[in-house]
Amino acid sequence: MPLIRDRLPEPQAYYESQDLALLGKGTWRTTRCAFHGGSDSMRVNLRNGAFVCMAGCGARGGDVLAYHMAAQGLGFVEAAKDLGAWEDDPQHEATRRPRRPSGLPARDALALLREDAMVVAIAAGNLAHGYPLSEADFERLREGAARIQRIADEVGVDARW
């Protein structure tokens, strides 16, 4: 197996390396939530690396690998490699079936959608006030619509209008 869990960083050292001050005593420590910015709202398990935000932002995971994936916006393999816990096996690679390309991380997809929605909103406002679209603005709208469609196809949503 390419993931070598023993190579994952020790939870306390990892979380402290992420500039999180771990407060309290015992297995579960309190720290700020890096996902929504809440102070002292996330709990971290020093034994297995699990984390959960108690403020309800939804951030949670079972180990430092899950935290690293979420915090850095990485996929499983990329995060494991980044943490030094992934070892490619050339023999295994040669015999396995080709994998589907990994999708766009949700955080990146939402950022693209936000920017494209802003372009559409500005263009709609300009048209509503009688300002014609330039060819450059129209091209930006076409590109944004194509990106939205690709993201929708990736997640399996019918985004045709």
The hierarchical CATH code for the domain 5-95 is: 3.90.580.10
The amino acid sitting at 100 is R
Phi-psi region of 5 (alpha: psi -120 to 50; beta: other; left: phi over 0): alpha
Residue 92: pLDDT above 70?
no
Q: Alpha-carbon distance 57 to 124, whole Å?
A: 33
For 53, half-sphere exposure in the C-beta direction (CA atoms, 13 angstrom radius) is 16
The amino acid sitting at 31 is T
pLDDT digit string, tens, across residues 12-43 = 999 999 999 999 999 999 999 989 988 889 99
Average pLDDT, the chain: 82
The predicted pLDDT at position 117 comes to 78
In the chain, the N- to C-terminal Cα span, in Å, equals 44
Domain boundaries, the chain: 5-95, 106-155
Cα 107 to its chain centre, rounded Å, is 5
The answer to whether the CB of 107 falls within 8 A of the CB of 73 is yes
Model pTM above 0.85? no
- pLDDT band at residue 90 using 50, 70 and 90 as cut-offs: low
The predicted pLDDT at position 97 comes to 58
